[in-house]
Structure 1
Amino acid sequence: GLCLQMFSYDLSLGNIIVRFNQGKPQIDNKWTSSAIMVFRQAITAGLLPSSDVLSQVLGCLRFPHDSSLKTTFIDNMGISCDMPHHPNTNSLLEGFGEYDIRAFSVLEEGGLLGAVASTSTKYSQIVIDARKSNIYTAEVSLLSTLKSLKHRLAAGARLPNVTILLPTEKKQVDLDEREKTLKLAGRVGQAVGSLLRRLGIKYQGEESHGRMRINGLTLRRWFNPKFTSAPSTGAPVELLPLPSRLAKGIADQQRDIRSLSL
């Protein structure tokens, strides 16, 4: 709990440093390192982490919600685009720009130890049951499912619909001198809804209803964003593979050098 509390404090002050390790963004924070170390030491000692402990460790692996940081991620991948005109680039980023990728391995370990229920992506209908999950566990579970579906799409498979089950809260209110029960979205539902909106993924349903649905075709389009060559022309172009983008960048630099020497 202390690690998450201190990490959240650093996060609020903007003191979270993100470095690139072999091209992959990674949080460089002592509280994050401590949380992971204690988590792994406990597992090595034969202790089973609770769902609360797992969520606290995952919470220490969140990236700041900073537009400049997202731009840095994009630049590091060698993608050249106008961010205001291309907001849906999250599917291209490691951890989808939301979490350090170490969060996925932590979640997987927690699933193997029974600290959290695992979600299978092998079926034609995927259901993520977050009704008993903590916020960070629910978020990483969703991102982990998206990661698996991205690999599934790359293998040429069709993407299924994804249903997310969320906890709701009930509140008694007086309407026209009559007492009525309203269903409200819980904190987990609000967090998951906010996450999907940040990612740019459209969904059906409401957090307050306890059920959200993402269409497989919507995910397919989200995983394959198209960029416009210029705001004036609006002509869509497919994103080139990273080696091709690097080669193009080198060729452009060589052309610029030749132009300057003439």
Structure 2
Amino acid sequence: MCLRRFEKACALGEPIVSFKSGRPELHNKWTTLALMAYREAIAAGEVPTLDVVSQLLGCLRLPFDASLKKKLIDNLGVAAYSSRCSLWSLVDGFGEYDPCAFSLLEEAAFLGIVQYVSFKESPIVVDAKKFPIHTAEVYLLTILKGLKHRLAAGAKIPNVTIYLPFDKAQIPTPDGYKTINVAGRIGQKVASLLRRLGLPYVGNESYGKIRINAISLRKWLRPKLASPFGGKHEGLSFSQSQIGKGIIDQQRNIRTGNFSLE
């Protein structure tokens, strides 16, 4: 019920996300109720089902809203080196879910509801054939989050192979009916998620298997940023860009006579 009410609130354009803390956070009574009920069940010794976990994750999904997406990027305070460069790897939750969703999935893995991800495997294999939609999405995003930390620590990152459910359908042709593969709903959602993130993949969800190459992952996790001093500087890091932006803000404060230390 909470998931349906939450989705209805999103569809009606009700305010769901707050930036009061400086970071995007979900503020919705149905999400709060769902989290409270989940925590009470865990405290009582209950082990939630995979479907319950997926519904809870659905209550942590950010709305599909163009203005919100723009605000999430603007809130970073940096700009991409080119229009083809995606900045979603720099956004908490990748602009798709509240970061709390990652903690919930990791807890579900601890409880044995979903399988742990081994980052020692090469390639990393994700079998999403039996996952509900929200679990499949957050599971993949959790892997991306883990790879982001490994890359930041100087470790190599492997390819990621994703297995997806697919169906078969018959279509009429001049020579009779022909059987074709059709992507299942989970496959369509996962592929759509990757396209929104700007993360390229090879393969086709209609055949039940797609792959994200390590090279594409590295480029996506370390996007090239434009220099805050004007012009473009290839390879500028997120932290360097933030420092540059801070210097510009300080210079502006000096010019305007604003010497506040805040």
Q: Does the alignment reach a TM-score above 0.5?
A: yes
In structure 1, give the amino acid aligned to 2:31: T
SS in 2 for 1:100: coil
Match of 2:196 among 187, 195, 198: 198
- Structure 1 residues without counterparts, runs of 5 or longer: none
Which piece of structure 1 moves more, 32-41 or 92-101?
Answer: 32-41
Which piece of structure 1 moves more, 109-118 or 206-215?
Answer: 109-118
Shift of 1:229: 4.7
Contact kept, 8 Å, 1:18 with 1:25, in 2: the verdict is yes
Shift of 1:234: 5.4
TM superposition score normalised by structure 2: 0.89
In structure 1, give the amino acid aligned to 2:171: V
SS in 1 for 2:18: strand
Contact kept, 8 Å, 2:80 with 2:224, in 1: the verdict is no
**In 1: Cα distance, 2:81 partner to 2:151 partner:** 25
Give CA deviations for 1:223-248 in whole Å, capped at 9, x if unaligned.
11113459x96553513417614532
Match of 1:161 among 151, 159, 162: 159
Give CA deviations for 1:89-124 in whole Å, capped at 9, x if unaligned.
101000011100010111111112222223222222
Contact kept, 8 Å, 2:204 with 2:210, in 1: the verdict is yes
Contact kept, 8 Å, 1:229 with 1:237, in 2: the verdict is no
| Cα distance change, pair 86–33 in 1 and its aligned pair in 2 (3 A) | farther
Which piece of structure 1 moves more, 241-250 or 26-35?
Answer: 241-250
Between Structure 1 and Structure 2, how many residues are aligned? 256
Contact kept, 8 Å, 2:225 with 2:238, in 1: the verdict is no
CA RMSD in angstroms comes to: 2.5
**In 1: Cα distance, 2:13 partner to 2:84 partner:** 25
**In 2: Cα distance, 1:74 partner to 1:177 partner:** 52
Contact kept, 8 Å, 2:60 with 2:98, in 1: the verdict is yes
What is the aligned partner in structure 2 of residue 250 from structure 1? Answer: 249
In structure 1, give the amino acid aligned to 2:58: G
What is the aligned partner in structure 2 of residue 103 from structure 1? Answer: 101
Higher relative contact order (CA 8 A, sep 6+): 2
| Cα distance change, pair 147–244 in 1 and its aligned pair in 2 (3 A) | same
Which piece of structure 1 moves more, 176-185 or 119-128?
Answer: 176-185
Query: Do structure 1's residue 221 and structure 2's residue 180 form an aligned pair?
Result: no
Contact kept, 8 Å, 2:81 with 2:233, in 1: the verdict is no
**In 2: Cα distance, 1:251 partner to 1:21 partner:** 23
**In 1: Cα distance, 2:116 partner to 2:106 partner:** 8
- Structure 2 residues without counterparts, runs of 5 or longer: 258-262
TM superposition score normalised by structure 1: 0.89
SS in 1 for 2:77: coil
Query: Do structure 1's residue 124 and structure 2's residue 109 form an aligned pair?
Result: no
Contact kept, 8 Å, 2:80 with 2:86, in 1: the verdict is no
What is the aligned partner in structure 2 of residue 5 from structure 1? Answer: 4
Percent identity of paired positions between Structure 1 and Structure 2: 47
What is the aligned partner in structure 2 of residue 46 from structure 1? Answer: 45
Query: Do structure 1's residue 148 and structure 2's residue 154 form an aligned pair?
Result: no
| Cα distance change, pair 32–245 in 1 and its aligned pair in 2 (3 A) | farther
SS in 1 for 2:24: strand
Which piece of structure 1 moves more, 113-122 or 41-50?
Answer: 113-122
Higher strand share: 1
Query: Do structure 1's residue 71 and structure 2's residue 58 form an aligned pair?
Result: no
In structure 1, give the amino acid aligned to 2:59: C
**In 2: Cα distance, 1:23 partner to 1:63 partner:** 16
| Cα distance change, pair 167–16 in 1 and its aligned pair in 2 (3 A) | farther
SS in 2 for 1:225: coil
**In 2: Cα distance, 1:240 partner to 1:144 partner:** 21
**In 2: Cα distance, 1:89 partner to 1:126 partner:** 23
Give CA deviations for 1:22-57 in whole Å, capped at 9, x if unaligned.
443210001111111111111111111111111100
**In 2: Cα distance, 1:119 partner to 1:16 partner:** 34
What is the aligned partner in structure 1 of residue 19 from structure 2? Answer: 20
